[in-house]
Amino acid sequence: MSSRAATPTPTALRWRPRSIEAFYRPLRRQLDHDSERCVQSQRGRPRPFLPRAVTRGGQIGVGESMRRFGYLAPKSVSEAVSVLAEHANVAKLVAGGTDLVVQMKDGVRRPQVVIDITGIDELRTLEERDDGLHLGALVRMGEIENHPLIIEKYPVLVDSAKLVGSKQVRNLATIAGNTCNASPGADTPPALIALDAQVHTLGPTGPRVVPIDQFFVGPGRTVLEPGELVTKFVVRKAAPNEGAYYERHTPRKELDIAVVGVGAWVRLNGETIEDARIGIAAVYPTPLRATDAEAALRGKPFGQAALDAAAAAAVAQSRPISDVRGSAEFRRWLVDVLTRRAVTNAVARARGGGPRAGETH
């Protein structure tokens, strides 16, 4: 408990304006800037008012920067691989579009070719086979949260998928998209790390399988080679003495991004934690596999001592930054709290109880 006691009370908001005028100054500056730009655009040709998001960078018109790209819609995986290989360095795949379309509107990504893979039914597999659960690249968050088999046997996937965006977003967003976008704060990667998912890919040189904890190399970057795409995720079949759980902290319950999220998986042998895996969101340049925390649990009886050791190890392995969502100190404190909760609830699920799928708050 010492690590928690030693951490001072977090202060996320450092800016303390001295007067009400000072408080409003940045907003007024922004409004003046926007209205000036709106007036300028009307001198050329009359236009209705456009929100700032679409006039950014001096460009006028909704998604003007998004217009200039080629569009291809392959109908099979092999066709997708060949067109992707042909345009390897200038193309982006669109699956759900909930990240890519927004990034293109903001001008963050400007692909010359967009390859729409939403029409490829082979990528929609969702079934349990002898070797485990097969989740096709295009399986949507909304499908995961409502799938009876996943709710019953892989509830940690529901915990994480249910937290992504809104209902409208989850009906578009895909599991491969949430992974390949490689945001360090994404919710599904810690759950996939906890479940030791294997990422199946296909590229010009053929198929390969990458363990999920080796899939990410940095913010927005993965091991995928140019021309390579994710076809599916395979998760080992759930056993009765195993349990997994994901929880994140956010100021708002829905439509928010994790300040920190922790996913944990355990396999019990009586009271002993035989094996454990822990994935953490938003405390490292990639989704983090907290191997030291796992080692601290392995072979230990479940209890306060094991939790203390695991939480301390997870905190030690985290490299959080301070940003708009929270300070590094606050994040370290959250890693401590959420690691304890995630392991405790994973153990409860392994014993046949614990929170119901998706009920993580």
Partner 1 sequence: MTKRVHVETRINGREVDFLCEPGQSLLEVLRDQLHLTGAKEGCNNGNCGACTVILDGRIVDSCLVLAPEVEGREVTTIEGLAGPEHLHPLQQQFLEHAALQCGICTPGLIMAAKGLLDQNPAPTEEEIRLWLAGNLCRCTGYDKIIRAVQAAAQQMEARV
Binding site for partner 1 (CB under 8 A): 51, 53-54, 62-63, 66-71, 73, 94, 96-98, 101-102, 104-106, 112-114, 116, 118-119, 142, 165-169, 171-172, 253-255
Q: What is the CA radius of gyration of the chain?
A: 22
Residue 151 C-beta: closest distance to partner 1, Å: 15
Which one, 22 or 108, has the nearer CB to partner 1?
Answer: 108
Residue 201 dihedral angles phi and psi, to the nearest 5°: -125, 165
Residue whose CB is less far from partner 1, 61 or 353: 61
Decide: helix, strand or coil at residue 303.
coil
Tell me whether residue 104 or residue 293 sits nearer to partner 1 (CB atom). Answer: 104
Shortest separation between residue 100's beta carbon and partner 1, angstroms: 9
Report the distance separating Cα 317 and Cα 259, nearest Å: 17
**For the chain, first and last CA: distance in Å?**
23
Minimum Å distance from CB 124 to partner 1? 13
Is the Cβ of residue 94 or residue 297 nearer to partner 1 in the bound state? Answer: 94
- Contact by Cβ (8 Å): 261, 247: yes
| Identity of the residue, 106 or 329, whose beta carbon is nearer to partner 1 in the bound complex | 106
Shortest Å, Cβ 348 to partner 1 = 23
DSSP code per residue over 195-222? TT-EEEEEETTEEEEEEGGGTEEETTEE
CB 102 to partner 1: min, Å:
5
- Strand locations in the chain, DSSP E? 70-72, 91-94, 113-116, 126-129, 132-136, 198-203, 206-211, 216-218, 221-222, 229-235, 242-249, 260-269, 272-281, 288-289
CB of 187 to partner 1, least distance (A): 15
Closest to partner 1 by CB, 126 vs 313, is 126
Q: Give the Cβ contact number of residue 177 at 10 Å.
A: 25
| Closer residue to partner 1 in complex, CB, 165/263 | 165
**Count of positions (residues) in the chain:** 361
Q: Is 350 exposed, middle or buried (0-12, 13-18, 19+ CB in 10 A)?
A: buried
In 3D, which of 232, 92, 97 has the Cα closest to residue 173? 97
As measured in angstroms, the least distance from the Cβ of 112 to partner 1 is 6
**Cβ proximity of 293 and 310 under 8 Å:** yes
Question: Which residue lies nearer to partner 1 by CB, 60 or 101?
Answer: 101
Nearer of residues 51 and 219 to partner 1, judged by Cβ: 51
Q: Are 320 and 282 a contacting pair, CB within 8 Å? A: yes
CB of 113 to partner 1, least distance (A): 7
According to DSSP, the β-strands at 272-281 and 198-203 are unpaired
Cβ 172 to partner 1 shortest distance, Å:
5
Pairing between β-strand 229-235 and β-strand 221-222 as defined by DSSP bridges: unpaired
